Structure 1
Amino acid sequence: MTIRLRLAVEIDLPAVGRLHHRSRAAAYAHLVDPSSFAARGPDMLVAYWVERHRWEQDTHRMTLAVDGDELIGFSYIGPSETDGAAELYAIHLDPSRVGSGVGRLLMVDALANLPAYGEPRAVLWVLEGNTVARRFYEKGGWVEDGVRRADELNDQPVTHLRYSHPL
């Protein structure tokens, strides 16, 4: 396994959307009705990333983890709505790569690039019930800071917890 990190370009976005769909379906199946992911197939996330990239390509950074020509993960960082913070919006992996160290590479890379946004800390949001992700971020030095928000995932109620990391 030879993992390489590189910046995403527009042609990568369909693969990003498909990977994002697989990642969410695997990671969140115990938190919401698993059939809700089938109802919202990968094409929805492909369209989401194509549109989001169009509006945020100058202010946000998507880093891909690739093994040869295979996309195996990505991270997404940018400015935050949280005052005094930049944000790690996402780290998603192909489900077969969870626990392989690829997520750690993406997190280290994100933490190295977040200071470019000129803020003293970074924040991220994680689903309260996603204990695997919470442990992953805590091992990386992120700390739950007590802020919660009610949200929806596939039209089902969930709670997000905010984590912070000094930059």
Structure 2
Amino acid sequence: MIRSAAPADGFAIGRLKVRAWRAAYAGFMSRAYLDTLDAVEEAEDWAEYLADLPGEHRLWVAEEAGVVVGFCRTGPVDEGRDADLGHAAAEILGLYIEPDRIGTGLGGRLFRHAVADLEGRGRRPLCVYAYEPNISAIAFYERAGFARDGTTRLDEEDGTAVVEARLVKRT
């Protein structure tokens, strides 16, 4: 089941984010940094974010047997950084699923739900940023109809600069 997240989901989302980051980014983010991720802090941050969710933002969760197994966050693009996309553009700000559920179709269903919601609200084009070393994520977004447009940004999440590629879906 895919549904809107509620503040009470903060703990599950925080714990899931930590597991997902440690699994997905272990090859290019430092182990020391990934080990510092704290599920309790993440849970508090997510609960606070959900309690005061900005109007155009959405946070979707995939749930199985009452357990959150994935989440996808969307919102308007950063008009300073992504002004070239226009005022109606939106961004998929994160897609994370339980590491043991990768390859089951869960991520695709959750992603398609988030994209359909954005398009149904007249948001176009859509973009998503993915760390360039994360070739499986980039391939996932390309299979979903997104294409690299040459725009990149530098993320220094763990003190090490990692390039993120922008992928865009225009229709």
Q: Same fold (TM over 0.5)?
A: yes
Q: What is the Cα-based RMSD across aligned positions, in Å?
A: 1.5
Counterpart code for 1:23:
A
The TM-score with structure 1 as length reference comes to 0.91
**Structure 1: gaps (5+ residues):** none
- 1-structure distance, mates of 2:163, 2:53: 26
What's the CA shift for 1:38? 1.4
2:168 aligned with 1:164, yes or no?
yes
Structure 1 residues 57-113: Cα deviation after superposition (integer angstroms, max 9, x where no partner): 432111111111111101111111123211111110011101110000011101101
What pairs with 1:45-124 in structure 2 (closer than 5 Å)?
45-81=42-78, 82-83=82-83, 84=86, 85-124=89-128
Worse overlay, 22-31 or 115-124? 115-124
How far is the alpha carbon of 1:55 from its aligned partner? 4.1
* Kept in 1: contact 2:5–2:50 (CA 8 A): no
Aligned with 1:152 (options 145, 152, 156): 156
Identity across the alignment (%):
30
Higher strand content, 1 or 2: 1
Residues 18-71 of structure 1, C-alpha deviations (whole Å, 9 max, x = no match):
101100110000011123111222123223323333443432111111111111
Structure 2 gaps, min length 5:
none
Matched residue, 1:20: 17
* DSSP-derived class of the 1:66 partner: strand
2:139 paired with 1:135: yes
TM-score by length of 2: 0.89
| Contact 1:126–1:133 (CA under 8 A) maintained in structure 2 | yes
How many residues matched? Answer: 164
Greater shift, 86-95 or 55-64, is seen at 55-64
**C-alpha separation between the residues in 1 aligned to 2:61 and 2:108?**
13
2 CA distance for matches of 1:154 and 1:53? 25
Q: For the Cα contact (< 8 Å) 1:86–1:117, is it kept in 2?
A: no
